[in-house]
Amino acid sequence: MWWVSSEPDDGNRLKAALRQTLRYAAVIPIIGLTTGVAELVYRGTGSDRLSSIFIAGVLLAAFLLGSGPAYLAAVAAFFVYFFLVDPRFQFTFGSPDDFNVLMMFLAVSALTGLLTGRVRDEAARAKARQRVNGALLDATQEFSASSDEAFIRARLAHHMARAARGEAAVHDGPSYVSAPTAKLADDAVRMLRAAEGRNPAPARATQQVNGWSLRTLSAGEAPLGIVAWRPLGGGPLSEEEQTVLGILVDTGAAAISRARLAAGKAEAETRARTEDLRNALLSSISHDLRTPLAAILASASSLDAFGETFDAATRQDLVTTIQEEAERLDLFVANLLNMTRLEAGALQIQRAPFNVPEVIQRTLQRRNRNHRRCISTAAAAGLPEALGDPVLFEQALGNAVENAFRYTPSDSVLSIAARAEDDEVIVEVMDSGPGVAGHDFERIFEKFYRAPGAADTAGTGLGLSISRGLMTVMGGQVVAGDRSDGAPGLVMRFSLEAVSA
C-alpha cells in the first residue's frame, strides 16, 4: 500500500502563520476607525467621555476576528482612550476618578471582547460541526441505500470535499474519483500513485504530504484504497473536523466492504440458482425425453421384429404411437429452443393480423391427438383479427392447453372461448382441475416452478413460462385466475391487440 512522512508541512505552517498575523493586523484599522469617530464626537460635543465608542470598536474586532484579536483591540483602545481624555495627549490623570474610569474601561473592554470573541468562535465551531456532521449524515444515508461500489466511492469523495471545505479524492489502483473537480492536479495524481506499493501505514493514521491529508481505506485487513483531502481557504481544519473526517473515511470503507460482500453474495446466489436450474432442467430432460424415446424405440423395435406377424390394426396402433410420441418429443424440444431464444433475445417476431379461431382449431387438433379429451369451443360473432405472430401464439396457447390436459380429470370438459374486449382479443382456456392457490397465480409462470400438488404429474415447469415470454414479445399478456362460476379449476387468459376494422 503506502507510507509517507508525517513531519509537519512547512507550506501549511507558513500559510497558517500568515492568516494569524493578518487577523491581528486587522485590529489596527478597526481601532483607527474607532479613534477617528471618537475624535469627531469630541470635536462636536467637547466631551471626553468616549469609552462607549472604543468598547464598540473592541466588540467589532471580537465579532469579526475572534477572542485573541479582541484582547489586542482592548489594550490598543485603552492606550488611545488614555491619551484622548483630559489632559489630552499626556500620560497623566486629571483626577482619581479618571483613573478609575480608565481601569474600568480596560476591564470592561477586555471582558466584552472576550465574551464576544468566544461567542464568535463558538458559532464558527458550531457551523463547522454542522457542516461535517451534515456531510457524515448524508454520506451514511447514501451509503446504506446503495450497494454500488463505484457510486459509494464517488459520493465518499464528494462528502469528504464538503467536510474538508476543499477537494478530495478516493484512489483505488490505477483509477481515482475526485470532487469537486473532475480531475486532480498532476501533483496530487503523482502523490497518490507514488503512495502505492509501499509499506502499509499504521491503522487509522492520517499522513500529510504537500498540503494533502492521506488515509488508508481499509476494512479489517483488506486494503480498499487511499483517501486524500485538503482544505482550500478558510483556515486549517480543526481537530474536531479532522476526527469527523476520519469517521467519514471509516464509514466509506465499511460501505465499500459491504458492497463487495453484497456483490459476492449476489454472485454466489446466481451461481446457486444457475446450478439449481441446471439440475432441474437435466432432471426434466432425463424424464420427458426418455419417456417418448422409450415408447418410440419399443414400437419401432416391435414392428421391426414382429411386424409380419402383427395384424393390420396392431401395426397401425404402433405407427400411431410412434407418430404421437415423436410429436410430443418435437413439442418438448421446441419449448427448450424457445426458452433459449427468449433468454438470448434472439426470437424473431413477425407481427401480422391473424384469425384467432383458426389458430385455436389448429392448436386443438395437434394437442388433443394424444389426450382425446372433450373440448368446448366458443368464438364471439364478428370477432376481429388479432395482431401478433400466429405461429408463436399457437405455441403459447398450446402450452396452456397441454397444461390443462395434464391437470384435468379425463372425464371433464376443457373450455376455450374467444371474444373481443375493448381493443383486445381475449382467449380463455378454462379447465376443471384442482386449480392453484391465489398466491401461486404469478409463480406458475416462473421457470421450473411446480405448484403444490403437481409434483406427481409429469412435466418440466417450462410451458407456462414460455407462454408468458412468447406473449410478452408479441405485445400481449397471459394471466391466471380462478373460474368466475366458483367451480374448481384454473383459467388462463390470453390477450392480444385487436386489428381495427
pLDDT digit string, tens, across residues 31-73? 788 888 877 877 777 766 676 777 777 777 777 777 777 777 7
- pLDDT score recorded for residue 461: 67
What's the one-letter identity of residue 384?
P
Q: Please answer whether residues 465 and 474 qualify as being in contact, where contact means their C-beta atoms are separated by less than 8 angstroms.
A: no
Q: Maximum distance among all alpha carbons in the chain?
A: 151
Mean pLDDT calculated for residue range 349-377: 80
CA 363-366-368 angle, to 5 degrees, is: 95
Cβ atoms of 325 and 292 closer than 8 Å = yes
Q: What is the DSSP letter of 371?
A: T
Nearest to 132 by CA among 209, 243, 244: 244
Edge-to-edge strands, sheet with 166-172:
175-179, 166-172, 222-231, 212-219, 207-209
Q: What topology does CATH give the domain 148-263? A: Beta-Lactamase (3.30.450)
pLDDT in tens, 65-98: 777 777 777 777 777 766 676 666 665 555 565 5
pLDDT of residue 271: 77
What is the reported pLDDT for 182? Answer: 45
Cβ–Cβ under 8 Å, residues 249 and 224: no
- Average of per-residue pLDDT values in the chain: 76
**Which of 8-12, 266-270, 295-299, 353-357 shows the lowest mean pLDDT across its residues?**
8-12
DSSP string computed for 378-405? EE-TTPPPEEE-HHHHHHHHHHHHHHHH
Cα angle vertex 416, ends 410, 420, to 5°? 170
Provide the pLDDT for residue 429. Answer: 92
Q: Which amino acid is at 322?
A: I
Q: Is the pLDDT of residue 323 over 90?
A: no
Query: E-assigned strands of 80-159?
Result: none
Residue with the larger pLDDT of the pair 489 and 198? 489
Res 498: pLDDT: 92
At 379, list the grid cell: 368464438
pLDDT tens-digit profile of 450-463? 666 555 555 566 77
Interstrand relation of 424-430 and 413-421 (parallel, antiparallel or unpaired)? antiparallel
The percent of residues above 90 in pLDDT, for the chain, comes to 7
Stretch among 4-18, 206-220, 410-424 having the lowest mean pLDDT: 4-18
Cell matching residue 166: 476543499
| pLDDT bucket at 5, cuts 50 / 70 / 90 | very low
**pLDDT, greater one: 186 or 154:** 154
Overall average pLDDT of the 422-444 stretch: 87
The predicted-structure confidence for 303-314, as pLDDT tens digits, reads as follows 888 877 888 888
Q: Which amino acid is at 49?
A: R
Asked if pLDDT for residue 376 goes beyond 70, the answer is: yes
Phi, psi of 448 (to 5 degrees): 70, 5
pLDDT band at 10 (very low <50, low <70, confident <90, very high): low
Structure-model confidence comparison of residues 351 and 344, the more confident one = 351
Q: Considering Cα of 377, then 382, then 387, then 390, what sign does the dihedral take?
A: positive
pLDDT of residue 492: 92
SS3 423: coil
Q: Which residue has the higher pLDDT, 249 or 288?
A: 249
Residue 439 or 120, more confident? 439
Rg (C-alpha) for the chain, rounded Å, is 43
DSSP 8-state secondary structure symbol assigned to residue 9: P
Q: Which of 58-62, 214-218, 291-295 has the highest mean pLDDT?
A: 214-218
Q: pLDDT at residue 493 above 90?
A: yes
The b-or-e profile of 88-127 (16+ CB within 10 A means b, else e) is eeeeebeeeebeebbeebbeebbebbbebbeebbeeeeee
Percent of the chain with pLDDT over 70: 71
pTM, rounded to two decimals = 0.43
Q: Which CATH class is domain 348-497?
A: alpha beta
Tens of pLDDT, residue by residue over 112-168, are 767 766 777 777 777 777 777 777 788 888 888 888 888 888 888 888 888 888 888
Q: Which range has the worst mean pLDDT, 273-277, 326-330, 356-360, 375-379? A: 273-277
Do 386 and 352 form a contact (C-beta atoms < 8 A)?
A: no
Give the pLDDT confidence score for residue 363 in this predicted structure: 85
pLDDT at position 408 over 70: yes
Query: Domain-by-domain residue ranges, the chain?
Result: 10-125, 148-263, 290-343, 348-497
Averaged pLDDT for residues 317-323? 83
pLDDT, average across residues 5-18: 55
